[in-house]
Amino acid sequence: MKIVSPNEEPAGSGRGGATFTGDVFTYVTMEYTDGAAVTNVCFTPGARTHWHSHENGQMLLVLAGRGWIQSQGETAHVIHAGDTVWVPPNESHWHGATKISYMTHKAISLGNTKWGDEVSESDYGKGVD
C-alpha cells in the first residue's frame, strides 16, 4: 500500500520544452508506481502537449476549464470539466487548453510515454471552440 499526499508546488512549469508548447503547470499526484503515474496538469490558454502516445493507454479526467484533444487522423474534440477520456494504448494524440480558456485535467498514464513532434499552429488552430 502506498499513500501519497498531493504536492503543493508544481513539479514542472514554464514555456515550451520537449513535451509541451506554452505555459503548463504539472503537479505530481503519484510518481510512476507499478506502471501507473497520476498527475494534475494545468494548461494556460494556447498551451498543449506535443504529439505522444502511452504504452498502455491513458485516462484523462477534466477537472476545470475547456480544452481540446485530438488523435492522429481524427478531428479535434472539445472537452470540458467533468469529462472523462480514455486514450487507447499506443494511439498518437495531443491534449491541451483552447486558445481562450484554461484547462486542468488529472492524467492517469499507464506504461511509458513516447513523445513526438510539437503540434503545429495550423493543426492546433483546427480545433472548434
Q: Supply 13's cell numbers.
A: 512549469
Measured from the CB atom, is 58 or 98 closer to Mn ion?
Answer: 58
In the bound complex, what is the minimum distance in angstroms from residue 128's beta carbon to Mn ion? 20
- How many C-beta neighbours within 10 Å does residue 64 have? 15
Is 70 a residue that touches Mn ion (CB under 5 A)? no
Q: Grid coordinates standing for 21?
A: 508548447
Among 21, 58, 101, 104, binds Mn ion (CB under 5 A): 58
Part in contact with Mn ion (CB under 5 A); list of ranges 53-61, 64-72, 96-104, 120-128: 53-61
Q: How many residues bind Mn ion (CB under 5 A)?
A: 1
Q: How many other β-carbons are positioned within 10 Å of the β-carbon of residue 88?
A: 12
> Residue 42 corresponds to which cell in the numbers above?
494545468
CB of 98 to Mn ion, least distance (A): 17
Q: Which residue's CB is nearer to Mn ion, number 2 or number 47?
A: 47
Choice between 21 and 58, CB closer to Mn ion: 58
Of 121, 109, 83, 79, the closest CA to residue 96 belongs to: 79
Residue type, 74: E
Amino acid letter at 5?
S
Q: Which residues bind Mn ion (CB under 5 A)?
A: 58
